[in-house]
Amino acid sequence: MPNKNNTESYRVIQITDPHLFADESMTLVGMNCEEGLQDVIELVKEHEESVDCVLCTGDIAQDASQEAYNRFAQHINKLNAPQLWIPGNHDIIASMQKALSNKKEALEKTLKLGNWGIIMLNSCVEGHIYGQLSEQELDFLKSELDGMHAEDRHIVIAVHHNPVPVNAEWLQNHSLQNTQDFFEIIDAYKNIKAVVFGHIHQDFKTSRKKVLMLGSPSTSIQFHPENDYFSLDKENPGYRWLSLHANGTVGTGVRRVVGKKYKLDLSSSEY
Ligand SMILES: [Fe+2]
Ligand SMILES: [Fe+2]
């Protein structure tokens, strides 16, 4: 794993919610998700000098097909960087794992980068859109936090479902449900710097008890950030970047595809 000196920072890229289909020509509410992902991968290659880790935060396949996972792996491999995958509510974990049979390290749940540690959590509940962290996942989180705290690491946690409310009210029923359990654990550690999540298909940034809470645009369709009911946003696909500095500070931002208009059925009331 990359190990830099104390003055350097680590560049982490979040790619989320591609919602791919077995058939590349299929569309989701009018948008070709394959095209969105391809464009975002090109955008990363164009703008990121070197990438230390790619966080793939779920909803990889819209139809849970093996072909979609296999092609996602091919797209992400183009970034030539360590990658970590977690599932979203649309995913089938066995198919996801199968696509990574030659790259099992992408299924690891932790990664250490210099004096930083990244923890990946599975928040999926089979058959449901909302998220929940199981007892087992909460125990895993606590034990990793203990270990990383003892090693004096700064920490980033990644999870598919949003643990904090966003402004779009309709997403609330679909968010992480047992947030109290989650926050009870993380509030006991002072070295957690950011929690990053997918699922909300929009740029989102707030801070809770000095911990950054970060959502990212998806590489496919964007949800309108304010409406109380499902509605699409005209914003283009994109990704989130994080710079993890040795002194424990985090730089972050989102970058979207520019100069292109995607086909999208803005009148859709569901997806
Ligand atoms: Fe999604
Ligand atoms: Fe999701």
Instruction: Decide if 266 is inside a domain.
Output: no
Q: How far apart are CA 76 and CA 103, in angstroms?
A: 12
Query: For 1-15, 81-95, 105-119, which range has the lowest pLDDT when averaged over its residues?
Result: 1-15
Please report whether residue 242 resides in a domain.
yes
Mean pLDDT of 190-216: 98
* pLDDT above 90 (res 227): no
Q: How far is CA 183 from the centre of its chain?
A: 19
> Which ligand is closest to the CA of 62, given by its number?
1
Cα 2 to middle of ligand 2, angstroms:
30
220 in a structural domain: yes
Q: In percent, how much of the chain has pLDDT > 70?
A: 97
Give the pLDDT band (50/70/90) at residue 1. low
CA–centroid distance, 59 to ligand 1, in Å, is: 5
Q: Is 175 among the domain residues?
A: yes
- The answer as to whether 269 is a domain residue is no
Q: From the CA of 129, how far away is ligand 2's center (Å)?
A: 7
Q: Please, are residues 176 and 123 in contact by the beta-carbon 8 Å criterion?
A: yes
Mean per-residue pLDDT of the chain: 95
Is 263 domain-assigned?
no
CA angle 222, 227, 228 (to 5 degrees): 120
d(CA 68, CA 90): 12
Question: What are the DSSP calls for 201-246, one per residue?
Answer: -S-EEEEETTEEEEE---SS-EE-SS-SS--EE-PPPEEEEEEEET
What single-letter DSSP state applies at residue 193? E
Query: Is pLDDT at 8 greater than 90 in this prediction?
Result: no
Task: Give 7's pLDDT tier (boundaries 50, 70, 90).
Answer: low
According to the model, what pLDDT value does residue 226 have?
87
The whole-model pTM stands at 0.96
d(CA 146, CA 189): 9
Tell me the ligand closest to 218's alpha carbon.
1
Our count of domains for the chain comes to 1
SS3 4: coil
pLDDT tens digits, 116-136: 999 999 999 999 999 999 999
Q: Could you say which ligand is closest to the alpha carbon of residue 161?
A: 2
CA of 139 to the centre of ligand 2 (A): 23
Distance 84 CA to ligand 1 centre (A): 17
Please check whether residue 65 lies inside any domain of the structure: yes
Cα 127 to averaged position of ligand 1 atoms, centre (Å): 15
CA of 224 to the centre of ligand 2 (A): 15
Q: pLDDT for 145-190, tens place per residue?
A: 999 999 999 999 999 999 999 988 899 999 999 999 999 999 999 9
The answer as to whether 265 is a domain residue is: no
pLDDT tens, position by position, 228-238: 899 999 999 99
CATH code for position 242: 3.60.21.10
Tell me the CA–centroid distance for residue 138 and ligand 1, in Å: 23
Show the domain range for 190: 10-256
